[in-house]
């Protein structure tokens, strides 16, 4: 079986038909990881024996006739999801010794479905970044060009799927960390509506923005995985109780009459010419599929990055205060007293970007600045939500580029944090509004690097978004292209 060209759905069929066992499948993926990942760095932890034990259990379940669609399928998990007995680092030295004593809700759901944990993927430290250059475990290379970044913060998950080291991987998106790396690595990725996937056991960065999701080659595969990931969980107070939905049910629905909103602010200035060309070609494909274009406006788009960089650090400074060297994580080996122990442990355990966020966040929440920054940002956040509300009165989905350019080179943006922050200009407002968004491959730009098309929908329109993506993927084959190194 050629894992570079076999989709998750086909793997599931082969398992059910006993053409391959889960153990054989797991061994094949572990073999690919052993061969290819030393050059990519997409995994932090692999535990072969543990994965193979799960595979044997899955094979027994398949034999007993009680298997579901993900039984026996290996899934890679971003190292932000706590998995019992697994090292769970969040890409940080702070958690470099943390073996989780419990499972995240997402992990529980996969365990119940009989999926295997293939390994834990590399990421920007505490999910702060757009290039996976801030990980304590080293940077991840883009499988299309090892001199380029894979995007971030879920760069490990995206690179692993792009190189077909895993059929799918979990990821999280606070300001773009699913859609941006999916775009730069030429794969599909969905960030669901805020509240659809439980945040329990997903290490918190900015709680009002964080949302778990998935990356995979195709929209169909995203739907299959999302069926298992989504669901109410009482331990997350923002988890939403809704009846279970089959995200693959509408995949084939024709797109006749679909109104595509094109925000004026997502086109023109700030988008590189190669990306613009690929997006225009994708829009023409959608017109052939029966869709029409509607010009819309999201007037506060330019404010989304500044608003995010007040709110996300504010929430992060509070969330990260739990890392004090006492209960878990890194503790300095030498200190004078308790206060000194806190200081040294945090100084040694956190990297530069995390410290920058904690400082900014503490500042905007401090007395005297709270009204001017934090409160004002909350007000503008509401305006951004309202922008989307009026937009969805005129169109069914919104489309545009996922990123302003194709993958950039290592070190290109590390010396200027603001340049790095701007790589999320098209994705961040979606998190501020809590809407679902996805990115799918839509051709190639400069240097033969992938371009991502972003599709944004109204609340809980995941099934529709996947339908819109799937129809395009039936008419094109960008999602089936793999980087040369994966063709082994």
DSSP states along 160-174: HHHTTSSS-EEEE-S
- Our finding on whether 175 is near ligand GLN (CB under 6 A) is yes
To ligand GLN, the closest distance from the beta carbon of 128 in angstroms equals 5
- Our finding on whether 313 is near ligand GLN (CB under 6 A) is no
- Our finding on whether 391 is near ligand GLN (CB under 6 A) is no
- Our finding on whether 174 is near ligand GLN (CB under 6 A) is yes
Q: Is 239 a catalytic residue?
A: no
Separation CA 225–CA 113 (nearest Å)? 10
Residue among 88, 109, 107 at smallest CA distance from 99: 88
**Tokens 């442990």 label which residue?**
345
Residue among 286, 477, 250 at smallest CA distance from 400: 286
DSSP states along 434-483: T--EEEEEEEE-GGG-EEEEEEE-STT-HHHHHHHHHHHHHH--GGG---
Residue among 389, 163, 55, 159 at smallest CA distance from 171: 159
Q: E-strand spans in 231-370?
A: 259-263, 292-296
Contact positions with ligand GLN (CB under 6 A) in 416-435: 424
Give 21 or 153: the residue with its C-beta nearer to ligand GLN: 153
Question: Quick one: which of 72, 155, 176, 441 contacts ligand GLN (CB under 6 A)?
Answer: 176
Question: Quick one: which of 177, 198, 360, 454 contacts ligand GLN (CB under 6 A)?
Answer: 177
Catalytic, out of 21, 22, 78, 304: 78
To ligand GLN, the closest distance from the beta carbon of 464 in angstroms equals 23
- Our finding on whether 128 is near ligand GLN (CB under 6 A) is yes
- Our finding on whether 312 is near ligand GLN (CB under 6 A) is yes
- Our finding on whether 397 is near ligand GLN (CB under 6 A) is no
Catalytic, out of 21, 154, 177, 461: 177
To ligand GLN, the closest distance from the beta carbon of 156 in angstroms equals 13
- CA angle (128, 444, 431) in 5-degree steps: 30
- Our finding on whether 133 is near ligand GLN (CB under 6 A) is no
Give 79 or 424: the residue with its C-beta nearer to ligand GLN: 424
Q: Is 153 a catalytic residue?
A: yes
Please give the backbone phi and psi of residue 408, each rounded to the nearest 5 degrees, phi first.
-100, 170
**How many residues line the site for ligand GLN (CB under 6 A)?**
13
Question: Quick one: which of 153, 300, 405, 461 contacts ligand GLN (CB under 6 A)?
Answer: 153
Separation CA 209–CA 206 (nearest Å)? 6
Q: Is 78 a catalytic residue?
A: yes
Residue among 175, 168, 195, 204 at smallest CA distance from 76: 168
- Our finding on whether 183 is near ligand GLN (CB under 6 A) is no
Catalytic, out of 153, 157, 304, 461: 153
Contact 86, 121 (CB under 8 A): no
- Our finding on whether 315 is near ligand GLN (CB under 6 A) is no
Question: Which residues are annotated as catalytic?
Answer: 78, 153, 177
Q: Which residues bind ligand GLN (CB under 6 A)?
A: 127-130, 153, 173-177, 205, 312, 424
């Amino acid at each position: 079986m050629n894992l570079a060209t076999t989709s998750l759905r086909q793997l599931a069929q082969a398992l059910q038909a006993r053409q391959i066992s889960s153990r054989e499948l797991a061994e094949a993926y572990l073999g690919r990881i052993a061969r290819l990942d030393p050059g990519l760095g997409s995994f932090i932890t692999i535990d072969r024996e543990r994965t193979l034990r799960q595979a044997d259990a899955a094979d027994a379940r398949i034999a007993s006739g009680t298997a579901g669609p993900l039984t026996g399928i290996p899934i890679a998990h971003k190292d932000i999801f706590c998995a019992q007995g697994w090292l769970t680092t969040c890409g940080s030295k702070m958690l470099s010794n943390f073996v989780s004593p419990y499972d995240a809700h997402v992990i529980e759901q996969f365990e119940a479905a009989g999926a295997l944990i293939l390994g834990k993927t590399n990421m920007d430290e505490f999910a702060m970044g757009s290039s996976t250059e801030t990980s304590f475990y080293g940077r991840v290379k883009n499988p299309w060009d090892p001199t380029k970044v894979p995007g971030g913060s879920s760069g490990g998950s995206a690179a692993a799927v792009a190189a077909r080291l895993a059929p799918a991987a979990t990821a999280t998106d606070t300001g773009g960390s699913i859609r941006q790396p999916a775009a730069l690595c030429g794969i599909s990725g969905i960030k669901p509506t805020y509240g659809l996937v439980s945040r329990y056991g997903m290490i918190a960065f900015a709680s009002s923005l964080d949302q778990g999701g998935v990356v995979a080659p195709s929209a169909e595969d995203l739907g299959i995985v999302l069926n298992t990931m989504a669901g109410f969980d009482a331990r997350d107070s923002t988890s939403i109780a809704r009846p279970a939905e089959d995200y693959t049910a509408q995949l084939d629905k024709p797109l006749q009459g679909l109104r595509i909103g094109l925000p004026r602010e997502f086109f023109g200035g700030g988008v590189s010419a190669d990306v613009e060309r690929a997006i225009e070609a994708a829009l023409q494909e959608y017109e052939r599929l029966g869709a029409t274009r509607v010009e819309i406006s999201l007037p506060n788009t330019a404010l989304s990055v500044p608003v995010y960089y007040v709110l996300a650090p504010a929430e992060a400074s509070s969330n990260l205060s739990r890392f004090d060297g006492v209960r878990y994580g890194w503790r300095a080996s030498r200190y004078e007293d308790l206060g000194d122990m806190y200081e040294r442990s945090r100084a040694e355990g956190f990297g530069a970007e995390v410290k920058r966020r904690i400082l900014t966040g503490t500042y905007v929440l401090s007395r005297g600045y709270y009204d001017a920054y934090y409160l004002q940002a909350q007000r503008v956040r509401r305006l951004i939500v309202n922008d989307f509300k009026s937009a969805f009165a005129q169109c069914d989905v919104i489309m545009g580029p996922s990123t302003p350019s194709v993958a950039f080179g290592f070190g290109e943006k590390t010396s200027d944090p603001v340049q790095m922050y701007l790589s999320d200009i098209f994705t961040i407002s979606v998190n501020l509004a809590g809407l679902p968004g996805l990115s799918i491959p839509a051709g190639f730009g400069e240097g033969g690097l992938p371009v991502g098309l972003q599709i944004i929908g109204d609340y809980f329109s995941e099934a529709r978004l996947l339908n819109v993506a799937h129809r395009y993927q039936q008419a094109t084959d960008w999602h089936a292209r793999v980087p040369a190194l994966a063709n082994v």
